[in-house]
Structure 1
Amino acid sequence: MGRTFFGTDGIRGRANAGVLTAATAMKVGQAAGHHFLRGDHKHRVVIGKDTRLSGYMMETALVAGFTSVGMDVIMTGPLPTPAVALLAREMRADLGVMISASHNPYADNGIKLFGPDGFKLSDADEEAIERAMQEEQPLAQGEDIGRARRIEDSRGRYIHAIKQSLPSDVRLDGLKIVVDCAHGAAYTVAPTAIWELGAEVIAMGVSPNGLNINDGVGSTALDAIKARVVEEGADIGIALDGDADRLIVIDEKGQAVDGDQIMALIGSRLAAAGELRGGGVVATVMSNLGLERMLAGLGLNLVRTKVGDRHVLEAMRAGGYNVGGEQSGHMILLDHATTGDGCIAALQVLASLVRSGKRASELLHLFDPVPQLLKNVTYSGGDPLADAQVKSAIEEGEAALQGRGRLVIRKSGTEPKIRVMAEGDDAGQVERVVDDICDAVRAAAA
């Protein structure tokens, strides 16, 4: 069946409009709650959120939905997405729910669901919930109606958990670190955890007001943290997104370090210690060819998946890998977390910085990225990729790059756009290939 609500990462959209209303949230609570009423134990769900104004509305509606079908609710308040996954598992909950639109502007919001194992729900579970949302669910009666409770120590629990990802002998004494929390879910936990490990912390993006999440700060707006790192003479900068499942690092020179370089560092360090599982790293088709070549030089594989941390995680679990991620900054380290966790990834980078004795600019630039270019073409309907001229342009581009680069053409999962990405050793050739294909797509879409 076609999906009305669930997309590539839960439900996401404009808050209080379209599919993402309080009524939808209550339906999600009722459908997901009923779906996970399994066994004769007392059922519970953990609900967290980021700092968006609409989070209050969505949280209240979800609580009403879950309690109405007989499930108890534990509310954590603002907390990173990976923390909700962690608490759902640790508290023996049947379900975890995160209210967030990640790196999107404040006007958007979303609902992400985690199973009792702390992993995102399977396609089968999401499809079952989607079907149930179209129907009336049996309501609990009398004493079977669920209860709701807000816990006050969720941030402390998460801080303790992420600090446990580091060996006890690792201290961050002497490091000056800029931490940008995007006015989002990690605005308390990230600076606190890093400070407790001994660093001097310069916090920014830590004054959420419901409207400023990801606004000019965080991992998708790096100018502010780049300038702050240089201005403060900091050793390194840590930039998270609104729900803190994404990480971009800034070196002491103010240069951004993306997810590919972070994967290269963590993967190579674990391999040297004999702790890298699966014989390589899992990333998406968007990761740079330079990363693939660097890993190959170490005798390691780069397994590529479709875009989306969900696809990365599926491949990691299927192949027994413990390191994976996306160029955009999602880092999945299965030794420590069940989903992408920007705070845990940041601590692994900081531990490597301490142990290496190197500057961040030396440590975090392990390969030279191959020239890569991505352009988007908007279309209004139909399927431009089925056009004969577009197919011909793609074939010509692939032939031009044969043996010297890669070409990735895909439809956006969230917008009416065709994304055209090419990379190769010749920057001029890469640009020509991308432009030729984009021109063909525009002509087909006209």
Structure 2
Amino acid sequence: MDVDALRKQAALHAKPPGLAFHYGTAGFRMRAEHLDHVMFRMGLLAALRSKQTGAAIGVMVTASHNPEEDNGVKLVDPLGEMLAPAWEEHATRLANAEDPDLPRALLRIVEEAAVEPARDAVVLIGRDTRPSSEQLAQAAREGVAALGGRLHDYGLLTTPQLHYMVRCRNTDGRYGKPTLDGYYRKLSSAFAELTKQASRSGDERASVKVDCANGIGALKLREMEPHVSPGLAVQLFNDGTKGKLNHLCGADFVKTHQKPPHGLEMKPNERCCSLDGDADRIVYYYLDAAGAFRLLDGDKMAVLMSTFLQELLAEVGESFSVGVVQTAYANGNSTRFLEEVMKVPVYCTKTGVKHLHHKAQEFDVGVYFEANGHGTALFSEAAEVKIKQLAESEDRKGKAAKVLANLIDLFNQTAGDAISDMLVIEAILALKGLTVQQWDALYADLPNRQVKVKVADRTVISTTDAERRAVTPPGLQEAIDSLVSGYRLSRAFVRPSGTEDVVRVYAEADSQESADSLAHAVSLAVFELAGGIGERPQPGFTR
């Protein structure tokens, strides 16, 4: 490491004074103008991680569903998974090191992580469509180059596509070809095999309207459209030609506000969906015959996918372990349906997709989704090998195994992928002959409400039991238990935000009025016991 040269380059990417940085589940994410030094240093860190693992590492420049003025960066580990927790700590320390201390901070990582500095490094870079992304990607490239790393710049990609490229590269193509064409062909060929088995009359094709959040998903879906058009008609809205990224549109807007995005005209019973800004989340929705808005979020998708997989696995007749992984935000009726009706084991983890992903890896077939629409299904290597062996047979078991084998290829097993998940859902609906209304009717969501309470210090709240019970401050959980006991089919929990001094409150009950009342009562308890600031929470909510 040439310390003098590194100091000179670091001076071109100076750390702004007075700001603290933390690498979390979403990587680093904030206003774009504060991120230049972070990007340079994450290029350095990606090169070190590559030298340590001997594998290609990904750098994705995106802020997902955040406003267009924000940006961020996340690193992708060798099998397409999120960055290892120990390296999240390295990332945080490196981003916060003062400029003169940068060489020392790098050497500390080299020593603690047993990095071989002379080893080759390979880094794959992708970025979303934000105006700031190209300049910030350049800072990351300079960081990689400063440590002699080799770069493969994919340019504009969805976040899940970069995860896919990293895994393909590090498995010598066994997972797929590390190119956009390879990604499109793998998913579209599996989709074609599945949909050609669906019973449809004549030239009838399924149709879906897609809100692309004015983001990268529009570009990539347009590129993919010719590959899937024989089985699916896709109409793109909020495609980036007008309107700002994530402004009044996208999966997060639709989920939060429980209403259609701006820029998408809906007719009753039309199937619609929204991606988020980097296309790793998706939610479905429609207007019923009475014109009421109906949302099918991550819980509904987990139920559809896991029940279909369960049916296929039963036909195959192999004793694979199956699990569905949710967070505390999963609707209680989705959990009850899976456990009591479908007899599928359900597990709850802390919020953050990395926690769900790791838990899902414990099963032969693991389906995980956050309620926000971020999720996928994972298949163990042993299960995949066995299923593809069985698929060679022409009997009933073989036919079910063929469907499973194509689903394995259609899921992006590296990360939640809105494009992949959309194709999985459309394939299942076609194979089952289900309308969006019939899918929605599998179970009814319990009414729920989420609110935020401003506090002086969010760290006064600590939780246990996958964030479902509060440990501190004293008396808060007892107050919540007492309040919950006053409502039917009810539950409530609180958890500190990971990014701001607010406490998030979730409540559900047998009616919307009861859910709203419970959420307000719990928010008052938080305000009083956890140091609330500003105005006391008021009853009444607006979506």
Q: TM-score, normalized by length of structure 1?
A: 0.77
Q: 2:480 aligns with which of 394, 400, 414?
A: 394
Tell me which residue corresponds to 2:5: none
Counterpart of 1:56 in 2: which secondary structure? helix
Tell me which residue corresponds to 1:292: 335
Matched, 1:190 2:234: no
Tell me which residue corresponds to 1:28: 42
**CA distance in structure 2 between the aligned counterparts of 1:37 and 1:303, rounded to whole angstroms:** 36
Matched, 1:6 2:45: no
Greater Rg over alpha carbons, structure: 2
Counterpart of 1:66 in 2: which secondary structure? helix
- In structure 1, give the amino acid aligned to 2:506: M
Tell me which residue corresponds to 2:134: 56
Matched, 1:263 2:302: yes
Counterpart of 2:266 in 1: which secondary structure? helix
Structure 1 residue 234: deviation in Å? Answer: 7.7
Structure 1 residue 5: deviation in Å? Answer: 2.9
Answer 1 or 2: higher relative contact order, Cα 8 Å, separation at least 6: 1
Tell me which residue corresponds to 1:130: none
1:16-49 Cα offsets, whole Å, 9 max, x none, are 12xxx21111111112212321458743111111
Tell me which residue corresponds to 1:143: none
**CA distance in structure 1 between the aligned counterparts of 2:366 and 2:512, rounded to whole angstroms:** 33
Q: 2:444 aligns with which of 342, 360, 368?
A: 368
Structure 1 residue runs without a partner (length 5+): 95-115, 119-152
Tell me which residue corresponds to 1:128: none
- In structure 2, give the amino acid aligned to 1:48: G
Q: Does the 8 Å CA contact 2:25/2:353 hold for their aligned counterparts?
A: no
Q: How does 1:304-319 map to 2 (within 5 A)?
A: 304-319=348-363
Q: How does 1:321-336 map to 2 (within 5 A)?
A: 321-334=365-378, 335=408, 336=411
Matched, 1:438 2:514: no
Q: Residues 225 and 278 of structure 1: is their aligned pair in 2 closer, same or farther, counting only changes over 3 Å? A: farther
Structure 1 residue 262: deviation in Å? Answer: 1.0
Counterpart of 2:217 in 1: which secondary structure? coil
- In structure 1, give the amino acid aligned to 2:246: N
**CA distance in structure 2 between the aligned counterparts of 1:248 and 1:117, rounded to whole angstroms:** 30
**CA distance in structure 1 between the aligned counterparts of 2:491 and 2:373, rounded to whole angstroms:** 21
Structure 1 residue 375: deviation in Å? Answer: 1.4
Counterpart of 1:251 in 2: which secondary structure? strand
Q: Does the 8 Å CA contact 2:237/2:264 hold for their aligned counterparts?
A: no
Q: Does the 8 Å CA contact 2:194/2:431 hold for their aligned counterparts?
A: no
Q: Does the 8 Å CA contact 2:184/2:227 hold for their aligned counterparts?
A: no
Q: Residues 357 and 424 of structure 1: is their aligned pair in 2 closer, same or farther, counting only changes over 3 Å? A: same
Structure 1 residue 156: deviation in Å? Answer: 2.7
- In structure 2, give the amino acid aligned to 1:247: I
1:403-431 Cα offsets, whole Å, 9 max, x none, are 93322211111221111112233555443
Structure 1 residue 200: deviation in Å? Answer: 2.7
Q: Residues 56 and 182 of structure 1: is their aligned pair in 2 closer, same or farther, counting only changes over 3 Å? A: same
**CA distance in structure 1 between the aligned counterparts of 2:273 and 2:357, rounded to whole angstroms:** 23
Bigger Cα displacement from structure 2, 241-250 vs 415-424: 415-424
1:325-356 Cα offsets, whole Å, 9 max, x none, are 11110022224321111111111111122223
Tell me which residue corresponds to 1:213: 245
Q: Residues 206 and 158 of structure 1: is their aligned pair in 2 closer, same or farther, counting only changes over 3 Å? A: farther
Q: Residues 221 and 9 of structure 1: is their aligned pair in 2 closer, same or farther, counting only changes over 3 Å? A: closer
Tell me which residue corresponds to 1:87: 165
Counterpart of 2:506 in 1: which secondary structure? strand
**CA distance in structure 2 between the aligned counterparts of 1:365 and 1:41, rounded to whole angstroms:** 56
**CA distance in structure 2 between the aligned counterparts of 1:394 and 1:82, rounded to whole angstroms:** 38
Matched, 1:202 2:235: yes
**CA distance in structure 2 between the aligned counterparts of 1:224 and 1:375, rounded to whole angstroms:** 20
Matched, 1:246 2:281: yes
Q: 1:352 aligns with which of 425, 428, 435?
A: 428
Structure 1 residue 387: deviation in Å? Answer: 4.2
Structure 1 residue 165: deviation in Å? Answer: 4.2
Structure 2 residue runs without a partner (length 5+): 1-19, 55-117, 199-203, 379-407, 462-471, 534-543
Q: Does the 8 Å CA contact 1:305/1:311 hold for their aligned counterparts?
A: yes
Matched, 1:380 2:456: yes
1:120-162 Cα offsets, whole Å, 9 max, x none, are xxxxxxxxxxxxxxxxxxxxxxxxxxxxxxxxx9433322232
Tell me which residue corresponds to 1:405: 490
Structure 1 residue 240: deviation in Å? Answer: 0.5
Tell me which residue corresponds to 2:390: none
**CA distance in structure 1 between the aligned counterparts of 2:499 and 2:134, rounded to whole angstroms:** 25
Counterpart of 2:191 in 1: which secondary structure? coil
- In structure 2, give the amino acid aligned to 1:34: L
Q: TM-score, normalized by length of structure 2?
A: 0.64
1:175-208 Cα offsets, whole Å, 9 max, x none, are 2321221121211222443453223322112125
1:197-246 Cα offsets, whole Å, 9 max, x none, are 2233221121257x821112221234555883534x78422211011110
Counterpart of 2:129 in 1: which secondary structure? coil
Q: Residues 182 and 256 of structure 1: is their aligned pair in 2 closer, same or farther, counting only changes over 3 Å? A: same
Q: How many residues align?
A: 383
Counterpart of 1:420 in 2: which secondary structure? strand
- In structure 1, give the amino acid aligned to 2:374: H
Structure 1 residue 72: deviation in Å? Answer: 0.9
Bigger Cα displacement from structure 2, 192-201 vs 360-369: 192-201
Q: Residues 87 and 382 of structure 1: is their aligned pair in 2 closer, same or farther, counting only changes over 3 Å? A: closer
Tell me which residue corresponds to 2:97: none
